[in-house]
Chains A and B, each alone.
Chain A
Amino acid sequence: MSLISWGMYPKIKNQKFSLRDRASLSEYMSNTNECIPFGNGRSYGDSAINEHIVYVKPYNNFLNFDENTGILTCQAGVLLSEILDSFVPRGWFLKVTPGTKLITVGGAIASDVHGKNHHIEGCFSECVEEFSIMLEDGTIKAVKKGDGLFLATCGGMGLTGVILEAKVSLKKINSKFINQTTIKTKNLKETFEAFENNKQLPYSVAWIDCLAKDENIGKCLLMVGDFADDGNLEYKSKKKLSIPFNFPSFALNTLSVKAFNWLYYAKAPDGISKQKVDIDTFFYPLDAIGNWNRIYGKNGFTQYQFILPKENSFEGLQEILGEISASGKGSFLAVLKLYGKENKNYLSFPIEGYSLALDFKIEDGLFELLDKLDEIVVKYSGRIYLTKDVRVSKETFEQGYPQIDKFREFRKENNMDSKFNSLQSKRVEI
């Protein structure tokens, strides 16, 4: 059985080593030329794919929780969903969470994930107090905030070693509900204004209709909100539906995406409306459908996520959305988000500005379109998110990440580049 990524592309044969204890990992590493850590397989592209994989998910014990500080110590294979199952009923939530809770703590660090509150709380690394990591020679290092190894590992895509344990600080909540406000906008200008007017609220995210044309480009539903304060913490993960098999590849086309978007936008009332929604609905809408990646068919799909600096965001997004809408290649999911200040980690994705994430099924002509979008991203000094990527060129990638040489040197100095590699790291030569 080969491990594949969430995008189901590319598929290559691989051998996995399941991480259960430190001693056998160290032995495995000394007998293996090259490997890459793999969490729960929710990275879209090839960042955790190689012929030899260290499967970290079985390494998933909780080790300690400090009720006073809210700091949880756990092994790297623990899923964020497991943290929520245990701690939401006790009044704690993740300070930073991405749009799926089905990722491991190790993966969250390696991707330095961000959430709907990046403009306030920053990336996942902000709430990591320290972690331990096994390096290429089998030694284990305890890493504190600010260490070189911290800066390289958070966002470092597993290319510095195998993260073993981490101390993650949680935040206090007093409800499993979010008071959500939904704002319907007509175009990108209105969308930007709505974001700016609501940026004092911790959580915000917009769904863009990326097939809208001309004056409607950038029309969206913006959801903003914060936790309620009603003392109801009876949280239980919802039972999920599951897509049982890969949909035939013709199932998803411009028409079906149009229909979906039409239904989705038609459902929301005009202007501003308020709802009270639970954690799963607000943060993890897609987790409710298991294996939703199968709707894109067996050839797989990719997510294209880029970010543009704030001063270029409006112009850049206009141009990119125009290009996509003209291509007719649709995306159910087009998520626009506002970001706050960037951090010091060498390869973390966020910079202050706006990012857009789009899903595309893999088909003829797609990579050509994405190459075109890359040019626009580079033109506006933006960058591509490695966790979602499966095809970006070395040149495009390099232009977005000014600290890339620092990262490369760090890997070389510490012999990491000979041991930890993925298909992605080879493609973009990091």
Chain B
Amino acid sequence: MSYVLIIGAKSDIAKEVARTYAKNGYNLYLAARESSSLEDLKQDIEVRSGVHVELKEFDITAYETHENFYSELGEKPLGAIVVSGYMVEQKLAQKDWNESLQTINVNYTGAVSILNIIANDFERERRGFIVGVSSVAGDRGRKANYIYGSSKAAFTTYLGGLRNRLYESGVNVLTVKPGFVNTKMTENLDLPEKLTAEPQDVANDIYNAQQKGRNVLYTKSIWVLVMLIIKHIPEFMFKKMSI
């Protein structure tokens, strides 16, 4: 069975995405920094699903290594899923340029760097799929997290363009926009229960949407409505609001 490459495999969402693809018979490349810390997950997936898992050392902000990283994968993957993300508190990002830069580099620049390489290969081979995990935070700039949000907005736009470009070669690109997810990243936030998804549900949604060749996925689906409303509040009102 084919391989799926998961970039940023350490996150809670990535862990469940990996398990979901493995459960459906895909072998996995799990790519992350200090990938040896993923030994437990590798063991877990192999016991659960009996597929083959390879851990790959990968730093999304070390752009110069990306070409090599991809060319050294033994068997080229059938699909690539970018889950990497960096979220810093807005106030800190405003004060500390390095935090802002890290946000942009992980969420946008690094993702573009590796996906450019993968997209060229998939286009040439006329097969494969790409999934990018963006965020509802990219749908509109809000004072509460616009630095993170703008990096995701850029990523969303990139994925849209990529989808447009790759359509002809039969490569589907899925943009995933999770809302609140109950993960390590959000552990200390007080999230509204009805709008908060579990990582397993997000992973299932991603798998189903990707298999069906969908373009954009909001998860939970209630976020379609929430963001529809938020996007349509006129700017002269929106700027006075705190949401």
Contact = CB atoms under 8 A, between A and B. Distances in A.
A227 to B, nearest CB: 23
A61 interface: yes
B196 A65 contact: no
Given A58-B12, A61-B40, 8 more contacts: A1-B182, A1-B190, A1-B192, A1-B193, A1-B196, A62-B44, A63-B43, A64-B47
Contacts, number: 33
A152 B21 CA distance: 39
Interface of A: 1, 18, 20, 58, 60-65, 72, 82, 85-86
A20 B187 CA distance: 12
Contact of A63 (B44, B49, B193): B44
B47 A63 contact: yes
A62 B192 CA distance: 31
Given A1-B191, A1-B193, A65 B47 contact: yes
A403 to B, nearest CB: 36
A187 B173 CA distance: 62
A86 B44 contact: no
Contacts of A63: 43-44, 47
Given A1-B191, A18-B187, A85-B23, A61 B49 contact: no
Interface of B: 12, 23, 40-41, 43-44, 47-49, 182, 184, 187, 190-193, 196
A86 B48 contact: yes
11 contacts: A1-B192, A1-B196, A18-B184, A18-B187, A60-B44, A61-B41, A63-B44, A63-B47, A64-B43, A64-B47, A85-B23
B229 to A, nearest CB: 19
B39 to A, nearest CB: 10
Nearest to B193: A1
A374 B48 CA distance: 44
Main secondary structure of the interface of B (DSSP, over half): helix
Contacts of A86: 23, 47-49
Contact of B44 (A1, A18, A61): A61
B51 to A, nearest CB: 11
Nearest to A62: B47
B183 to A, nearest CB: 9
Contacts of B43: 61-64
Nearest to A21: B40
Contacts of B187: 18
Contacts of B182: 1
A20 B40 CA distance: 11
A86 B47 CA distance: 9
Contacts of A82: 48
Contacts of B184: 18, 20
Q: For A64, A82, A86, which residue has the most chain B Cβ atoms within 10 angstroms? A: A86
A63 B45 CA distance: 9
A85 B43 CA distance: 17
B48 A62 contact: yes
Contacts of A61: 40-41, 43-44
A18 B49 CA distance: 25
List the 10 closest A-B pairs by CB distance, nearest first: A61-B44, A62-B47, A86-B48, A62-B44, A62-B48, A61-B40, A65-B47, A1-B191, A1-B193, A18-B187
A1 B41 CA distance: 27
Q: For B23, B48, B196, which residue has the most chain A Cβ atoms within 10 angstroms? A: B48
Contacts of A20: 184
Q: For B12, B43, B47, B196, which residue has the most chain A Cβ atoms within 10 angstroms? A: B47
Nearest to B222: A244
Contacts of A72: 47
Nearest to A57: B198
Nearest to A83: B48
A238 to B, nearest CB: 13
A246 to B, nearest CB: 11
A18 B184 CA distance: 8
A72 B44 CA distance: 11
B103 to A, nearest CB: 24
A82 B192 CA distance: 27
A170 to B, nearest CB: 13
Nearest to A18: B187
A85 B41 CA distance: 17
A12 to B, nearest CB: 15
Contacts of A85: 23, 48
A99 B43 CA distance: 29
